[in-house]
Amino acid sequence: MAGTKGSVGISGGGRSAEEQYRLVTGASKPTKAGYGDAELGGSYVEVKKATAATLNQVRAVKYIPLVAFHEPTSTWYVVPAHVIVCLVSTKGRGQHTENPFESATLNIFALGKYKVASESDLKKATLDAIAESNKYPGLKKAMAMVLADSKALAARSIKDVMTLIATLKIVP
């Protein structure tokens, strides 16, 4: 990763890791940002850069592998989607949300089992993680239901609150 600098700020901070991951693995950039940060072998991949111990905004609900680059140690991790779901399922709430599956934090040092020995192993480690997570279609379906339920709750909540605001004749 020498010589690559990411944007400052939470939304662009991991860009250098995303670009390096795509360069090393031959992955492409997804057509839509919400899908993930890379597409490899027909599957989406989330790529995060950590400058400290915390990985922010981990979205288990996507049910895609998490690739993390720990900048201080120049270490890569590849965590299968089903493992992310398991880790997040122990949390009482999410990061900036009640639902931990929508967004959560993880400690990168708790992921030692998923450390990649060499950057040249990233592609194989990711494809292996995808294959392993594909063994749990019920868990993938459960995450799709969590996402659908979350979207339905959001739509219903907006409608209910807008109705109440109109009833009360509140003007912003």
CA 99 to CA 95: how far, in whole Å?
8
Q: The domain spanning residue 19 has which CATH number? A: 3.40.1350
Q: Tens-of-pLDDT digits for all 172 residues of the chain?
A: 444 433 333 445 568 899 999 999 999 999 998 999 999 999 999 999 999 999 999 999 999 999 999 999 999 999 999 999 999 999 999 999 999 999 999 999 999 999 999 999 999 999 999 999 999 999 999 999 999 999 999 999 999 999 999 999 999 8
Evaluate whether residue 142 is within a structural domain: no
- Contact between 33 and 39 under an 8 Å Cβ cutoff? The reply is no
When divided into structural domains, the chain yields a total of: 1
Evaluate whether residue 165 is within a structural domain: no
Element at 58 (helix H, strand E): strand 54-58
Evaluate whether residue 78 is within a structural domain: yes
Evaluate whether residue 58 is within a structural domain: yes
Structural domain harbouring 51: 15-135
CA 51 to CA 31: how far, in whole Å?
27
Helices (H) and strands (E) in the chain, counts: 4, 7
